[in-house]
Every structure is written in structure tokens, then in C-alpha cells.
């Protein structure tokens, strides 16, 4: 039961115009209903319908970010809320931007010793021969994925070179940048965290080739297993790797780390979701329920904790300018601009 405490005025941000709009709306609806049950005053704001920069944010105590994909997970809405002085759920603008770019996150993982599959950054302007060379260096089988996208959109498993062109075509439908990555043959796992405290690890089993959009949202045969036949020390190590991955990016509040466990029981971090799905059927709430925290209590605790944490006030907004991180993706933009100016 949620304690009968002072209610908060909560703006639930959900919807937006990203490719994950439908999932975001479901998360937002579930969160809004749970917070209403917890006796908070809730208003749903959809950035695809309402201009957030024109909102009088003084009428809200805290914002619950349930925006998946662009604008919600890439640091943009977080920066807007920082500048408005509104506490919000989840990670800072800086950490969100890092996590949203797979290549930027991987650079940080490498710096902090977090195991992640070997990769190469690609761009839609690269010719096929150049990308094929990078793929050969990575080695088949491999994975092609957009650099910034969620819910496995645009992802392809590529087992032979002849499959590469179609995989690239799909990838570049979602982003001008992509990642060619070593395929980790093994089992799929996810570890949810709340302020770096891990929730029970979940093994994901699907009859599809991997945990794609259909397996996530449409296939009733997808299985989520807590009591997998894996030694406890392997689970503990996987949870530690997930914590280290989040620490490397500086995430806070909610996060979900997706991993693969290879045949030697070595975990490999695929990505971090800073705005994970938040229906009562989503993975992080499932893990919280496994620990005995129901969905209403979980949502209530999250907004209260976010309300009480310090507001960054946009102090780090200058870090969000292009090339501020010095990542491979940012250096590509910088070099392109320099090249244009020199002509």
C-alpha cells in the first residue's frame, strides 16, 4: 500500500513523435493511472500535441518522463526541464545523450572497462566497399543497428556478407549513423536499476532470431525467466557489470541494461535504456514486482525520489553542444563542417 502522504502535482510526459510513440503512450497511460491511485494530481502532456516550452511549469512539482526514443531519451527534454527548474524522473541530459548514442556509450564503456561487443561506427555516406571492409574486420556473424534508436528498430543479424546491403538499408532508415557490432552468440538478459541498485536479472527467451520489436510487443510466446539455470555468481557478476555500465555513463534514477551472456558465461553490455518501458507488463516493473514492489508503489517512490533530488538547473547544458564529448560521432560532424569550410 502507498502511504497517505502529501500529493504532488505531476506532469506525465508521454507520446511524442518518435518511432516509439505507441509504446510511450502506453507507458504514460499506465504511469498516470498508477500515480492517480497514489493520490497524486496528474496531467498527461504529449509533446506531439503540446509545445512544452510554452508550459507554465510552476504548476508542477515534478515531471515523469515516459517519452521513449528521440526527444525523450536523447537529453532534449531533460535539458528543457533543467532550464525550467522542474525535477524529473530518470537521468540527466548529459547521461541521457550519452546512453542514446550506442557508439558514444561504447566509447565510455571502453574507458571504464565495461565489456561490450567490438564495433565500428558507420555513416550512410560511406560506400559499401568501405563498410564491407569494416564488417570484415569485425568478423561475421555481426549485428547492424542504428546508432540512436530503441526497441530494436532497424536492427539486423547479419551472418554472411550477402546479407549486409539489406541490413544497411534498414539501419539507415532510422539514423544517418549506424553501428556494425560483433554478434554475441548466447542468451539475452536485462537488468533493471533504480539509482544503481539492481533489480532481479531477467532472462529473455524468444523463438525469433533475437529480441526484436515483434518479440517485445507483439509475440505472446516471448518468455521472461527469473529462475534461470545459471550459477548465482554469474548472476551477481552480470548485475555488477550492469552497475558499472550505468556508472560509466552517469545514469541516475531509472535505467535498464540489456546484455548478452556468452557460452563462457561472460556478460556483454549491448545498451542502456534511460527511459525503459513502464507499463505493468514492462521488464523493469516486472523485476520490481519480483522484489515485492507493486506498480503503484513503484511509480509513487520514483516521483517522490525525483522531487527530492537536487535540480541541475541547466548547469551542464553547455556540454550538450556538438563535439563536446569528443565521440567518434561528434568528430564526424566536426570534420564534415571543417571540410565544407575549406572548399
Domain locations along the chain: 1-90+291-324, 118-182, 184-274
Confidence of residue 281 (pLDDT cuts 50, 70, 90): confident
Residue corresponding to grid cell 539514423: 175
Contacts of 204 (CB under 8 A, 6+ apart): 187, 188, 189, 190, 211, 215, 222, 223, 224, 225
Find the catalytic residue in 70, 97, 256, 304.
256
Radius of gyration of the chain (CA): 20
Find the catalytic residue in 151, 152, 156, 312.
151
Residue corresponding to grid cell 565500428: 120
Is the previous residue joined to 141 through a cis bond, with omega within 30 degrees of 0?
Answer: yes
- Is 218 a residue of the active site? no
pLDDT at residue 173 greater than cutoff 60: yes
Sign of CA dihedral 89, 91, 97, 100: negative
d(CA 343, CA 333): 16
d(CA 288, CA 226): 12
Find the catalytic residue in 217, 224, 290, 330.
217
SS3 336: helix
The terminus-to-terminus CA distance of the chain in angstroms comes to: 66
Q: Hey, what's the cell of 121?
A: 561506427
Q: What angle do CA 68, 97, 10 make, to 5 degrees?
A: 50
pLDDT at residue 213 greater than cutoff 80: no
- Is 277 a residue of the active site? yes
pLDDT at residue 325 greater than cutoff 80: no
Find the catalytic residue in 120, 273, 282, 312.
273
Find the catalytic residue in 271, 304, 306, 312.
271
SS3 65: strand
Find the catalytic residue in 73, 75, 277, 329.
277
Identify the weakest region by mean pLDDT among 152-166, 175-189, 222-236, 314-328: 314-328
pLDDT at position 2: 46
Interval 77-133: pLDDT, tens: 999 999 999 999 999 999 999 999 999 999 999 999 999 999 999 999 999 999 999
Task: Give the CATH class of 1-90+291-324.
Answer: alpha beta
Give the fold, CATH level 3, of 184-274.
Answer: D-amino Acid Aminotransferase; Chain A, domain 1 (3.30.470)
Residue corresponding to grid cell 569485425: 138
- When the pLDDT of each residue in the chain is averaged and rounded to a whole number, the result is 87
- Is 271 a residue of the active site? yes
- Is 162 a residue of the active site? no
- Is 258 a residue of the active site? yes
- Residue 49, CB half-sphere, CA atoms under 13 Å: how many? 8
- Is 217 a residue of the active site? yes
CA distances from 339 to 88, 229, 324, 331, 335 (A): 40, 54, 19, 12, 6
Cα–chain center distance at 21 = 14
Q: pTM of the prediction?
A: 0.87
| CATH superfamily assigned to domain 118-182 | ATP-grasp fold, A domain (3.30.1490.20)
Interval 285-295: pLDDT, tens: 999 999 999 99
Amino acid at each position: 500500500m502507498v502511504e497517505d502522504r502529501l500529493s504532488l502535482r505531476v506532469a506525465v510526459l508521454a507520446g511524442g513523435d518518435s518511432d516509439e510513440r505507441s509504446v510511450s503512450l502506453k507507458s504514460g497511460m499506465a504511469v498516470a493511472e498508477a500515480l492517480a491511485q497514489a493520490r497524486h494530481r496528474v496531467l498527461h502532456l504529449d509533446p506531439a500535441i503540446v509545445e512544452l516550452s510554452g508550459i507554465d511549469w510552476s504548476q508542477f512539482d515534478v515531471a515523469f518522463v515516459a517519452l521513449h526514443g528521440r526527444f525523450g531519451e536523447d537529453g532534449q527534454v531533460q535539458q528543457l526541464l533543467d532550464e525550467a527548474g522542474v525535477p524529473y524522473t530518470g537521468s540527466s541530459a548529459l547521461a541521457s545523450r550519452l546512453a542514446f548514442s550506442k557508439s558514444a556509450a561504447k566509447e565510455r564503456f571502453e574507458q571504464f572497462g565495461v565489456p561490450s561487443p567490438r564495433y565500428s561506427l558507420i555513416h550512410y555516406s560511406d560506400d559499401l566497399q568501405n563498410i564491407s571492409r569494416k564488417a570484415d574486420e569485425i568478423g561475421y556473424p555481426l549485428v547492424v543497428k542504428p546508432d540512436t534508436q530503441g526497441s530494436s528498430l532497424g536492427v539486423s543479424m547479419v551472418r554472411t556478407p550477402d546479407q549486409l546491403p539489406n541490413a544497411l538499408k534498414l539501419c539507415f532508415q532510422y539514423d544517418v549513423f549506424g553501428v556494425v557490432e560483433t554478434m554475441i552468440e548466447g542468451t539475452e538478459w536485462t537488468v533493471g536499476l533504480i539509482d544503481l541498485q539492481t533489480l532481479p536479472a531477467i532472462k529473455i527467451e524468444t523463438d525469433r532470431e533475437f529480441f526484436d520489436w515483434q518479440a517485445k510487443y507483439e509475440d505472446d510466446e516471448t518468455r521472461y525467466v527469473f529462475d534461470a539455470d545459471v550459477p548465482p555468481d554469474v548472476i551477481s557478476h552480470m548485475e555488477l557489470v550492469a552497475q558499472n555500465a550505468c556508472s560509466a555513463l552517469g545514469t541516475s534514477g531509472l535505467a535498464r541494461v540489456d546484455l548478452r551472456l556468452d557460452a563462457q558465461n561472460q556478460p556483454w553490455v549491448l545498451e542502456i535504456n534511460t527511459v525503459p518501458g513502464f507499463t505493468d507488463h514492462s521488464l523493469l516493473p516486472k523485476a520490481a514486482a519480483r522484489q515485492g514492489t507493486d506498480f503503484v508503489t513503484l511509480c509513487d517512490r520514483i516521483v517522490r525520489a525525483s522531487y527530492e533530488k537536487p535540480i541541475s538547473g541547466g548547469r551542464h547544458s553547455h556540454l550538450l553542444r556538438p563535439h563536446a564529448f569528443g565521440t567518434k560521432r561528434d568528430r564526424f560532424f566536426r570534420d564534415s563542417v571543417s571540410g565544407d569550410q575549406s572548399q
